[in-house]
Chain A
Amino acid sequence: MSPLLVALLGILLLPLFVGSWRTSIFGLGCQGLLMASIAHRLEPNPSSAQDFVLLADLAIVRGLLVPFAFYAVLRARNTPARNDVIPPNLLSWTVALSLVLASFSFAEVLVPEAGEQRTLVAVATAGILLGFLVLATQSDPLSQMIGALRIENAIALLELGGKRTEPPLGLQLALLAVFLTTVAYFRFYLNVLGSAEPSASVGTSESEGPTL
C-alpha cells in the first residue's frame, strides 16, 4: 500500500475525530496536496497541458485556494473553534470505521488484482462514503460544505486512477471552472448563512417585498 494513500486515508479520518473547523479545513487542504503528490507519482514527467492543469487543480485549487477561501471567511466571522463534522460519539466513530472497512471490501470486488489501483479505489470509496456520513449527520452549512467537498475530492482521486480517460483540455478547464464557481458560491453562502445550524424559525415570518 502506497504511503501516500495511507496518509490520505489518515487525513480523511483524522478530522472526524477532532471537532474543530480548522482541522477540517486543514484536512481538505492536505487531501488536495496529497492527491497532487499521487498524481505526480503516477505521472512523474508531466508533459501535456492536461497534466499541468490536473496538478494545478489538485495542488493549488484544492490544496491551497479552497482551504484559504474558507479560512478567511470563518476567521472574519470569529467562528467558535468547535465544529464537529460527525456527532462526537462512539456510534458515529464506529460507523465511520466500518465504512472504511466496507470500502476496502468493495474495492476487492471492483479491482480483483491486489495492488495500488485497488488501494486507490478503496481510499476514494472511503472518501465518498465518509463524505456522505458527514452530509447525513450534520445540518449546519459549514459541515455540509465540508462533506460535499470531501466527496468532490474523492471523485478527483478516483479520476487519477483512470489516466486513459483523461478528457480534452477544453473540457478539463471547464470542469475546473465549474468547481471554482461552486467553491465561490459556498464561500458566499458561508458568509451570509454562517457556520451555525440554521434557526428553525428561518422562513416562517420573513417580510418579503414584491417578487417575480
Chain B
Amino acid sequence: MTSLVLVLGPAAASLGAGVRHVRTRATVLLVMVAFFSSVLAYVVAFAPSGPALLGGYLRVDATSRLFLAFINPIFFGVSVYVWNRVATTPELGREMGRFVPCVLIFLSASNAVLVSNHLLVLWLALEITTLAAAPLIIWPTTPGSQLASFRYLLFSSVGLGLVLLGILCLARSGVSAGESPSFFLDRLAARSVAANPWSTLGVALIVLGLGTKLGLAPMYSWLPETYDKAPPAVTALLGAVQFNAALVVLLRVVQAFRPALAGLLTAELVTMGLASMLVSSFSIIATRNMTRLIAYASINHAGVIAIGLGIGKTASYGLLLYVVSNAFIKAILFLTAGKIKAHYGTNDTREIDGLLKNLPYSGVFLMVGTFALLGLPPFGSFFGELLVLSALVGSGHMFVFSAFCVLITMTFVATGRTVFPMIWAEPRQARTWPRQTFWSASPKIFFLFVLIALGVYIPPVVNQLIEEVAASVEVR
C-alpha cells in the first residue's frame, strides 16, 4: 500500500500545486512532498515485501527497493536546492506554478517505473517522466533551451517508440509459440521465453530504445545538448533520477530475458557500451564546456554500466555499486556546475579558475565529485569499475578489457587536464562573490556524505539489497 502512496501521492500533490493560494508556496509543498516520499521510500525499501497491488500491476521486489532508496532522497536534495534558489532569487518564484506540478508528476512517474510489474505500465510511466521533464528544460525561455527540449522529446519519443515496438514483437513471439501473451514481468521471468526471431527482435529493439534514454551510442546526441541547456536542478533530475528509472526498465528486461537470450544481450550491451565510451572519450577531449564535459562523462558512465550489465556474473554487484555512486556524483556535479556558471557567467572551462579560493564550497564539491567521477578510491565508482574489469578478465573478454582500459585512461587524462586547472589554478583576477550559505550547499553536502559513506562502509541491509539485485541479473 505504501508503494501506491509513493506513486499517487506526488501526482495528487501536483494538482494542489496548481491552486492559486498554494502556488506562492509551491516550493515548500515540493520539499514537503519530497521529504515524505523519501521517508516512505525507506519504509518500502527496508520492510518485508508485501503482496502485489492493483491486480499484479505493481509489485515491490529487491530492484524496486534498492532504487527507491536512493532516487527519492536525491529528489529531496534537489527539491531543497530549488527551494533555496527560489528563496534567495525571488524572480524565480514567478513560474513555480508551472515548475512544481511538472516536477511532482515526474517523481510520481519515476516511482511508478520502479514498482511496476507490467511492461506496458513501465513504458507508460517512463514516457510520462519524459513528457513531464520536457517543459522543465525550457528555463529560462531561450531558442537554445526550446531546441534542446524539442530534441530531448524527439529522441525520447523515438527511443521509447522502439521500446514499444520491441514489446509488441515480444507479444507476437508468445503468440507464434502458441502461448497467451503476457506483459507481467514476474510471469515472464517465471516461464522460459521462447528464443525465436520475434523475441530476438523484440529484446534487441527494447535494449536499443532504452539505450537512447540512457544516452548510449548510437542515439546519444540529445544528452549533451539537453544537459547543457536545462537548468542545473533539472539536469540533476534527468541524470540522477530519470537515468536510473530507465536503467530499472533495462534491468527488468535483462532479468526476464537473459536466460533465453544471454548471447544477444551480452553482444548488444557490450557493443553499445564500448561505442558510448569511445564517442564520449573523444568528446571529453574536444569540449571546453563544463556542463557538456560532465554530460559526456555521464555517457561514458552509461557505457561502463552497459558493459557491466552485458557481462553479468561478478560484474553485476560492481555495476550496481557503480550505479548508486554514479547517481550521487551526477547530482553533485550538475548542481555545482550550475552554481559555478551562475557566478562566472560562462561554462567555458578556460574562463574558470581558482575555484578553491573563489568559491570554496563549489571548489571542494567539484574536486571530490571529479575524483569520484574518475573512479578514484575510496568511492563506490572505483570498486564498481574494478569489479567490472575483473569480470571482463574472468569471462575472457580480453579485447573488451583492453579497449575499456584505454578509453577509461583517455577519459581520466582529458577530464583531469580540463577540470583540475579550474580547481587549483591561481585566479587570474580578483573577484568578490556573495557568501555561500549552508542551505545552498546542504543538498550537495548530503550527497557527498552518502557518496563517501558508500565507498567506505556499505550498511549490511543495503549490501544485501545490492546482492539480491545482482543475483537477479546474472545468468541463471
Asked if A pairs with B, the answer is yes
Q: What band does the interface of chain B fall in when counting residues whose beta carbon is under 8 Å from A? A: 35 or more
B89-A210 in contact (CB<8A): yes
B143-A203 in contact (CB<8A): yes
Residues in A neighbouring B390, C-beta threshold 8 A: none
Compute the total of residue contacts between A and B using a CB distance below 8 Å: 113
Expressed in whole angstroms, the minimum distance between the Cβ of A51 and any Cβ of chain B is: 18
Q: Is A151 an interface residue (CB 8 A)?
A: yes
Q: Is B12 an interface residue (CB 8 A)?
A: no
Expressed in whole angstroms, the minimum distance between the Cβ of B101 and any Cβ of chain A is: 14
B161-A211 in contact (CB<8A): no
Residues in A neighbouring B231, C-beta threshold 8 A: 211-212
Residue of A141, A198, A203 ringed by the most chain B CB atoms within 10 A: A203
B92-A203 in contact (CB<8A): no
A162-B131 in contact (CB<8A): no
Q: Which of A47-88 contact B (CB under 8 A)?
A: none
Which of A175, A178, A202, A211 makes the CB contact (< 8 A) with B131? A178
Taken residue by residue from 88 to 103, chain B's Cβ proximity to chain A (1 for < 8 Å, 0 otherwise) reads as 0101100000010000
Residues in A neighbouring B171, C-beta threshold 8 A: 162, 164-165
Residues in A neighbouring B131, C-beta threshold 8 A: 178, 181-182, 185
Q: Which of A158-199 contact B (CB under 8 A)?
A: 158-159, 161-162, 164-165, 167, 171, 174-175, 178, 181-182, 185-186, 189, 192-193, 198-199
A198-B232 in contact (CB<8A): no
Q: Which of B318-363 contact A (CB under 8 A)?
A: 338, 342
Residues in B neighbouring A210, C-beta threshold 8 A: 89, 91-92, 140, 342
Residues in B neighbouring A207, C-beta threshold 8 A: 142
Residues in B neighbouring A158, C-beta threshold 8 A: 165, 168
Expressed in whole angstroms, the minimum distance between the Cβ of A75 and any Cβ of chain B is: 20
Residue of B82, B140, B342 ringed by the most chain A CB atoms within 10 A: B140
B165-A110 in contact (CB<8A): no
Q: Is A209 an interface residue (CB 8 A)?
A: yes
Taken residue by residue from 396 to 412, chain B's Cβ proximity to chain A (1 for < 8 Å, 0 otherwise) reads as 00000000000000000
| Nearest neighbor of A192 in chain B, beta-carbon distance | B146
Q: Is B290 an interface residue (CB 8 A)?
A: no
| Bound-state Cα–Cα, A209 to B180, Å | 56
A159-B140 in contact (CB<8A): no
Q: Is A148 an interface residue (CB 8 A)?
A: yes
Taken residue by residue from 195 to 221, chain B's Cβ proximity to chain A (1 for < 8 Å, 0 otherwise) reads as 001100100000000000000000000
Q: Is B427 an interface residue (CB 8 A)?
A: no
| Bound-state Cα–Cα, A145 to B121, Å | 25
Residues in B neighbouring A151, C-beta threshold 8 A: 158, 161
| Bound-state Cα–Cα, A141 to B120, Å | 28
Residues in A neighbouring B89, C-beta threshold 8 A: 210
Q: Is B288 an interface residue (CB 8 A)?
A: no
Expressed in whole angstroms, the minimum distance between the Cβ of B306 and any Cβ of chain A is: 22
Residue of B154, B174, B180 ringed by the most chain A CB atoms within 10 A: B154
| Nearest neighbor of B153 in chain A, beta-carbon distance | A185
| Nearest neighbor of A167 in chain B, beta-carbon distance | B120
Residues in A neighbouring B175, C-beta threshold 8 A: 162, 164-165
Residues in B neighbouring A109, C-beta threshold 8 A: 197
| Bound-state Cα–Cα, A207 to B158, Å | 31
Q: Is B233 an interface residue (CB 8 A)?
A: yes
| Bound-state Cα–Cα, A189 to B143, Å | 10
Q: Is A133 an interface residue (CB 8 A)?
A: no
Q: Is B127 an interface residue (CB 8 A)?
A: yes
Residues in B neighbouring A141, C-beta threshold 8 A: 150
Q: Is B124 an interface residue (CB 8 A)?
A: yes
B128-A178 in contact (CB<8A): yes
| Bound-state Cα–Cα, A206 to B139, Å | 12
| Bound-state Cα–Cα, A36 to B127, Å | 25
Residues in A neighbouring B124, C-beta threshold 8 A: 171, 174-175, 178
Q: Is B245 an interface residue (CB 8 A)?
A: no
B150-A193 in contact (CB<8A): yes
B157-A212 in contact (CB<8A): no
Q: Is A24 an interface residue (CB 8 A)?
A: no
Residues in A neighbouring B229, C-beta threshold 8 A: 203
Which of A155, A185, A212 makes the CB contact (< 8 A) with B85? A212
| Nearest neighbor of B338 in chain A, beta-carbon distance | A211
Which of B143, B197, B233 makes the CB contact (< 8 A) with A110? B197
A212-B161 in contact (CB<8A): no
A208-B150 in contact (CB<8A): no
| Bound-state Cα–Cα, A204 to B289, Å | 12
Expressed in whole angstroms, the minimum distance between the Cβ of B234 and any Cβ of chain A is: 7
B147-A193 in contact (CB<8A): yes
A110-B198 in contact (CB<8A): yes
Which of A145, A165, A171 makes the CB contact (< 8 A) with B168? A165
CB<8 Å pairs between A and B, sample of 15: A144-B154, A145-B154, A148-B154, A155-B164, A155-B165, A162-B168, A174-B124, A186-B153, A193-B143, A198-B143, A198-B147, A199-B143, A211-B140, A211-B338, A212-B99
Known: A152-B161, A167-B183, A208-B142. 4 other contacts (CB 8 A): A162-B175, A165-B171, A165-B175, A198-B147
